Amino acid sequence: MSDFDRAVEAAEFLRGRGFGGADAAVVLGSGLGDFADGLEDPFEVAYRDIPHWPAARVVGHAGRLVGGLVRGRRVMALAGRVHFYEGHPLAMVTFAMRVLGRLGVPCVILTNAAGGINTRFAQGALMLIDDHINLMGSNPLVGANDERFGVRFPDMSEVYSTRLRAHATAAAAAAGVALEHGVYIAVHGPSYETPAEIRAFRTWGADAVGMSTAPEAIVARHMGMEVLGISCITNMAAGVLPAPLRHDEVMETARRVKGQFVALLEGTIERC
């Protein structure tokens, strides 16, 4: 069975359970899954029950797909994702984007917990991703191209939609949420970066670092979806502060800023 056939089968399964016709989808990163609990008229399915859909196993990723309403807009919330560092091929990491594309979702909001490289950023800041650097060592489009998904060489000059970024900026202003802007660099993981690596990334123009998002953004654009990216700066990157990096710190910071994060998402979705 081809990747296309698997995506079609999963999309038809979800359409039969009411997930068709969404105005937007949101992928929720580590510790950011509370947004899914606030949807109106919710319905959900566990990832393990969706054909071919990989199960999320990282702490802070619930592994469920939730549908519902946000200020009158129909939304699909992906509470958790799988990662390249877990050993999944990138085709599996980005499978959800293939399914969303087959469901006709017009735009996707990718969120993540990230390490702050820009020393102006405070821990807990929310950063709108203006662009990314893919340093994962591979690309999810490697291999034979299926034209039913998209063209062989998709344009990446505007991965993150100018229109959606304007909506997010307006939503942040309306909600009184401070919003940074920056470039996200995606690395393989799972080890955190060294101080020397962070210094190098800073010279390249990166403002935040993480282990996700870029492959999903590439595949979403391959399928013609608009993409918005939001990073929660849950910790400062290696060498910025004289302290070791810990995943529990990531989770605690995400919990602390969840009110601002939810307000930003809701206001953005309302404007989509």
- Tens digit of each residue's pLDDT (9 = 90 or more) over 179-192: 999 999 999 999 99
Active site residue 160: no
For residue range 205-235, list pLDDT tens digits in order.
999 999 999 999 999 999 999 999 999 998 8
- Give the burial class of 48: count Cβ atoms within 10 A of its Cβ; 0-12 exposed, 13-18 middle, 19 or more buried: exposed
Contacts of 143 (CB under 8 A, 6+ apart): 91
Q: Which residue segments constitute the domains of the chain, with CATH numbers given?
A: 3-271 (3.40.50.1580)
Tell me the three state secondary structure of residue 220.
Answer: helix
Which tokens is 177 given? 């949420």
| Confidence band for 72, pLDDT divided at 50, 70 and 90 | very high
Q: Is pLDDT at 258 greater than 90 in this prediction?
A: no
pLDDT digits (tens, 9 = 90+) for 109-162: 999 989 999 999 988 899 999 999 999 999 999 999 999 999 999 999 999 999
Quote the tokens at residue 121: 């950023």
Question: Which of 12, 86, 252, 270 is an active site residue?
Answer: 86
Tell whether the model's pLDDT for residue 1 goes beyond 90.
Answer: no
Is residue 247 very low, low, confident or very high in pLDDT (cuts 50, 70, 90)? Answer: low
% residues pLDDT > 90 (the chain): 79
Catalytic residue among 79, 92, 113, 217: 113
CA separation for the pair 210, 213 (Å, rounded): 8
pLDDT at 57 over 80: no
Catalytic-role residue among 9, 12, 52, 85: 85
* For residue 254, pLDDT beyond 90: no
184: annotated active-site residue: no
CA distance 239 to 117: 9
Q: Specify the range with the lowest mean pLDDT, choosing from 78-87, 248-257, 263-272.
A: 248-257
| Residue 189 Ramachandran class (φ > 0 left, ψ -120 to 50 alpha, else beta) | left
Query: pLDDT value at position 83?
Result: 93
What Å distances lie between residue 237 and 14, 20, 32, 198, 208, CA to CA?
Answer: 38, 39, 19, 7, 8
Q: Decide if pLDDT at 168 tops 90.
A: yes
- Residue 234 has which token pair? 């849950």
Q: How many CB atoms lie within 10 A of CB 116?
A: 26
With CA atoms as reference, report the closest residue to 154 among 225, 62, 70, 235.
225
DSSP labels, 13-51: HHHTTT-TT-SEEEEE-TT-THHHHT-EEEEEEEGGGST
Catalytic, 30? Answer yes
Q: Is residue 61 over pLDDT 60? A: no
With tokens 């206001």, the residue in question is 267
Residue 255's pLDDT is: 76
The model scores a pTM over 0.85: yes
- Omega before residue 242 within 30° of 0, cis: no
What's the pLDDT score for residue 32? 77
Q: How many CA atoms lie within 13 A of 157 on its CB side?
A: 1
Would the pLDDT of 62 be above 90?
A: no
* Catalytic residue (one of 61, 132, 167, 222): 61
Catalytic residue among 171, 211, 236, 237: 211
What is the reported pLDDT for 181?
Answer: 97
Choice among 96-100, 134-138, 181-185, 244-248 with the minimum mean pLDDT: 244-248
Annotation marks residue 118 as catalytic: no
Q: Is 83 a catalytic residue?
A: yes
Per-residue pLDDT at 272? 86
